[in-house]
Structure 1
């Protein structure tokens, strides 16, 4: 039974006659108009009562059949190849993310950056490229953005023009729409591999040398508290995912994120995600609320995707009250600056604490800070591993254990350099040994570990 009642043939656009040259699928007005008409006819012709009984695959097949039939009624407009492409575009528009579907299916793309309806960039291999993807207009782009965010129960409109959310495939999306965005919606999509990048992959990619990864592994197993620091897009979450694989399988881990993107591999995981205000402006649940609640959930470790506000105080208290081995990330340009950022965020909690008290809390809670950076040419590397040893007057006492030293760039403008151990003995060696873990001092003797070029 045909679930789409027959309709009259689609009218051919006036500018296209039966004897006119075949229209090219290069974004011409005629083809775009024909595509819009085809999409409208499909939507109008759908038997909504029958859709509920069909699976998504069945529905796509039925829409494809009817779309191909409608296209065949205008043989002079498009050839077979162009009709196939047009049908696929209409399917993407009906069931997917429209023009973005081809980009979302490309595994080499790590970021999609949309600057209004006619400018779309992607990042491949750490470098930005302008694409030929276009939206019909600002309204079309806004419609696709709203479709993306509503999939996870979020909303974006004039009363709530900014949104952080995630797509069903785990990709993270940030969008800001007019009136705040002047030239159409600004959208950033951070894509993640279906298979999480593991520690061995980071070593193979020369993002971190084997010796450094061995040290970080024993730090995780010995339940040291670790902060991963870096700029936007530097690889903080990727490294956090890789390090989490070293957490023993018999420990209970609670993860807290604004938009869930961590993919921990342990069997005993509790995942929490913040919630924004509802349409009445109430009902928000922030990271700080979730950190406080996680303390009542009997966690062995707490992993906060990113500390960016007053929740830093609750995170430090958790680290100092029996939840050793916790991990989090912060935005900072250096390991020492990361501790300064934590100071500022603790101050945002609203408690009138002396600065020396805050510094002592941080120094007692944080054991190791790992700095990741995106270097010239797009390569992402762990550029420093520092140990927090205490406080000295008004400053933190820290020592660098491993560093990456850039020596220049190659012919493709990619950073060249080497990883080095500084030669300092970690103060945490006794704690590692107390957990039955040993490390050879050869790891820390001052020497080049491996070239860091990529």
Structure 2
């Protein structure tokens, strides 16, 4: 961060503090108002600015999306515009650059895309012109406050009673699980809830590109990948971190997202005694997970046959998340299906064992008996 940027941030922070103090001195302010004002002040000082910081108070907020001067939010009912946006594209670009600086990253003509985490845990992704066309694009992912438990997810209709029982038993017998779904479907939320349910006597090693998992668990070790610097040096890949985690006496290894050659390393780790571990993967349906694993295995130099055999031995189940909007009046992120891996004529398969439709009705699938067999084994 340059001296000019630092001075600008200090000036902005001073103005925000003065404004917050004036608001708190206004007649009729109570303890709730003090907490709200301090929370907004914290958001502004951590890079969100006066336009975006108040949006954190919206109930159920998960995403804030800025398309040049226009601002959209997702509070669980799909993307909706807000009335108040930015006055100019220059203001948005300056905010994006400030956010990047707070994350310790550059955002300029030489580096027009940035991905990072603000101090308050908000994930920021920004793109500036000419890559973004007509204006600066900022995408903010807001973490759930305090995270969710499995019981809270059940009460919120993200899982049903049967799914909660399956997930709890899955933890007990130490299944190795892939959580699949599209971007924004709730994979990280579910994974955090699962990790929060694990015994406090276990040591969890979380490996991510950018640290987003914050389970309510007393013994979590976070390992974060590092990109190469401008000289092309200093990179630490997810593959290296998986190998490092195996030497750190883990009870469970968690790979935040399986998206490249690290698939070989995580499957190797899970095939050498690290039961009860997790990874997430992008896929549209559980049935498409085997093809996705094959593609990732190819990136790691593995043959399709080797990938299928390794994956079948490494993973037991797939828990698939979906994000539904407006279907039968039911909106939000939910577990849509639980699948079981198998091998048919040397080909990896994932068959449905249990599914929940968009009305929240659960039903068993062709792999139900296989799921029962998996869940009945000794831990």
TM-score bracket, shorter-length normalisation: 0.7 to 0.9
Name the CA shift for 1:427/1:421 in 2 (closer, same or farther; >3 Å): closer
Q: Is the 8 A contact 2:117 2:210 kept in 1?
A: yes
TM-superposed deviation, 1:94: 11
2:62 partner SS: strand
1:65 Cα shift?
10
Q: Mark the CA change 1:360 to 1:247 in structure 2 (over 3 Å): closer, same or farther.
A: same
| Aligned with residue 364 of structure 2, among 421, 424, 427 | 421
Residue in structure 1 matched with residue 55 of structure 2 by the alignment = 103
Seen in structure 2, the aligned counterparts of structure 1 residues 243 and 67 have a Cα distance that, compared at 3 Å, is: closer
> Does 2:358 correspond to 1:402?
no
Aligned to 1:360: 309
1:285 corresponds to 2:236: yes
Where do 1:312-327 residues align within 5 Å?
312-327=263-278
- Higher alpha-carbon Rg: 1
1:62 Cα deviation after fit: 7.2
Contact 2:287–2:351 (8 Å) recurs in 1: no
DSSP-derived class of the 2:98 partner: helix
How far does the alpha carbon of each residue in 1:361-385 deviate from its partner, in whole angstroms, 9 at most, with x for none? 0111110001111123242221110
Tell me which of the two structures has the higher relative contact order, counting C-alpha pairs closer than 8 angstroms and 6 or more residues apart. Answer: 2
Judge conservation of contact 1:100–1:133 (CA < 8 Å) in 2: no
Q: Distance in 1 between matches of 2:344 and 2:112?
A: 45
Cα drift, residue 125 of structure 1: 2.2
Q: How many pairs were matched up?
A: 349
- Residue 275 (structure 1) aligned with residue 226 (structure 2): yes
Q: Pairwise mapping of residues 183-222 of structure 1 onto structure 2 (< 5 A)?
A: 183-222=134-173
Is the 2:177–2:319 contact (alpha carbons within 8 Å) kept by the matching residues of 1?
Answer: yes
Matches within 5 A, 1:424-435: 424-426=368-370, 429=373, 432-435=376-379
Normalising to structure 2: TM-score of the pair? 0.84
Residue 431 of structure 1 deviates from its aligned partner by 6.5
Cα displacement string for residues 180-224 of structure 1 (whole angstroms, at most 9, x for unaligned residues): 111111111111122101101111112111121111111112111
CA distance in 1, matches of 2:212, 2:309: 32
Larger CA deviation: 202-211 vs 281-290: 281-290
Alpha-carbon deviation of 1:96? 5.2
Secondary structure in 1 aligned to 2:139? strand
Deviation at 1:269, TM superposition (A): 1.1
Question: Does the residue aligned with 1:371 lie in a helix, a strand or coil?
Answer: strand
Query: What's the counterpart of residue 177 of structure 1?
Result: 128
What residue is the counterpart of 1:141 in the other structure?
92
Unmatched segments (≥5 aa) in structure 2: 1-6, 24-39
The residue aligned with 2:32 is: none
Contact 1:221–1:246 (8 Å) recurs in 2: no
How far the C-alpha of 1:429 sits from its partner, in A, is 3.1
Structure 1 residue 61, shift from structure 2 partner: 8.3
In structure 2, relative to structure 1, the CA distance for the partners of 1:324 and 1:130 (3 Å cut) is same
- CA displacement, residues 61-100 of structure 1 (integer Å, 9 cap, x when unaligned): 87449999xxxxxxxxxxxxxxxxxxx99x9599752321
TM-score (norm 1): 0.71
Q: Kindly state the Cα deviation for residue 426 of structure 1 after the two structures are TM-superposed.
A: 2.9
Worse-superposed segment, 249-258 or 153-162: 153-162
Q: 1:401 to 1:155 in 2, by over 3 A?
A: same
Cα distance change of structure 1 residues 144 and 417 upon mapping to structure 2, 3 Å threshold = same
Q: Is the 8 A contact 2:61 2:142 kept in 1?
A: yes
Q: Give the superposed CA RMSD.
A: 2.8
- Are residue 228 (structure 1) and residue 171 (structure 2) matched? no
Cα distance in 2, alignment partners of residues 100 and 313 from structure 1: 41
Q: Structure 1 regions of 5+ residues with no counterpart?
A: 1-42, 49-55, 69-87, 407-415, 436-454
> Could you tell me how far apart the structure 1 residues matched to 2:308 and 2:347 are?
8
- The CA distance in 1 between the partners of 2:93 and 2:287, in whole Å, is 41
SS of the residue aligned with 2:357? strand
Residue 192 of structure 2 corresponds to which residue in structure 1? 241
- Aligned residue number for residue 106 of structure 2: 155
Please give the secondary structure, in 2, of the residue aligned with 1:425.
helix
Match for residue 76 of structure 1?
A: none
